[in-house]
Amino acid sequence: MHQRASPPFTHVRQNGSHAHPSHGFPENASLRRQGVDIATLHVVGSNDGLFPWPELGFTSPTAAQVAEEKAPMDNAVAQVRSAFDSARQRHDRAVALFLQADMFDPTYNVTWADNSAFQPLVRELVAQSNAFDGEVYLFNGDSHIYNSDRPLAAGSKWLDFYGIRGSADNLERVLSWQRVPYAS
């Protein structure tokens, strides 16, 4: 059931929870349930869509790719900031963030060309996690393997990789997937 409200709009679910999509970016939504602020972020793999298109003769991202990536990433960063602001204001116990991209892929030796587009989001995750007293959960699925870790805790290689001072010891990443047989 959908209910129209002031900008942008609100999804009302059968259980009564409300999801608030970000204006202009319906993939970026937030909701709150039982003291947990939840945000979905439109952040995709392949360096947030900036991998070159060699099959079309490109060896670096096109101007169109760069332009298309910037606004959604800026909005995802703003969505993270908003979720944490809400959680702090309400004294919530946790923030949970859901996205597709795996910014800390443990399955291969990641290069800067693979993940550079994620730096603004990772910086914001560290800053906001540090300013929040509760737990932070990051869910992503791009690597397709189960992994639970603290990729931004003190001593993590990812802090150096992204050029970040400080750490986010309260951020736990949960990467999970399950094969579900397709049934027609």
pLDDT for 113-150, tens place per residue?
889 999 999 999 999 999 999 999 999 877 667 778 99
The pLDDT value recorded for residue 170 is 97
Instruction: Kindly state the tokens that stand for 156.
Output: 């993590």
Residue 157 lies in a domain: yes
Residue 177: band (very low, low, confident or very high) from pLDDT cuts 50, 70, 90: low
182 or 116, greater pLDDT: 116
Q: Is the residue at 21 inside a domain?
A: no
Domain count for the chain: 1
Q: Within 10 Å of residue 107's Cβ, how many Cβ atoms?
A: 11
The whole-number pLDDT of residue 176 equals 60
Q: Would you place residue 9 in the very low, low, confident or very high pLDDT band (cuts 50, 70, 90)? A: very low
120 is a domain residue: yes
Task: Tell me what pLDDT residue 136 has.
Answer: 98
pLDDT exceeds cutoff 90 at 156? yes
**Residue 47 domain flag:** yes
pLDDT for 131: 96
β-strand 135-140 against 94-98: which pairing, if any? parallel
Residue 184 in any domain: the answer is no
Residue 37 host element (H or E): strand 36-40
Rounding to the nearest 10 degrees, give the CA dihedral for residues 104, 110, 112, 113. -110
Asked, for residue 8, whether it belongs to a domain, the answer is no
The string of pLDDT tens digits covering residues 16-64 is 444 555 556 778 888 999 999 999 998 887 777 777 777 888 888 888 8
- Give a yes or no: residue 58 inside a domain: yes
Give the sheet arrangement for strand 135-140, strand by strand.
Answer: 2-3, 10-12, 18-22, 25-33, 36-40, 94-98, 135-140, 171-175, 147-149
- Alpha-carbon distance 125 to 167, whole Å? 9
Q: Rounded CA gap, 128 and 31, in Å?
A: 18
Residue 97 has a pLDDT of 96
Model confidence at 153, in pLDDT bands (50, 70, 90)? Answer: very high
Query: Residue 120 has which token pair?
Result: 């603004």
Phi, then psi, of 56 in degrees rounded to 5: -105, 10
Question: What pLDDT shows up at residue 94?
Answer: 97
Asked whether residue 46 is assigned to any structural domain, the reply reads: yes
Domain housing 103: 27-175
pLDDT value, residue 7 = 36
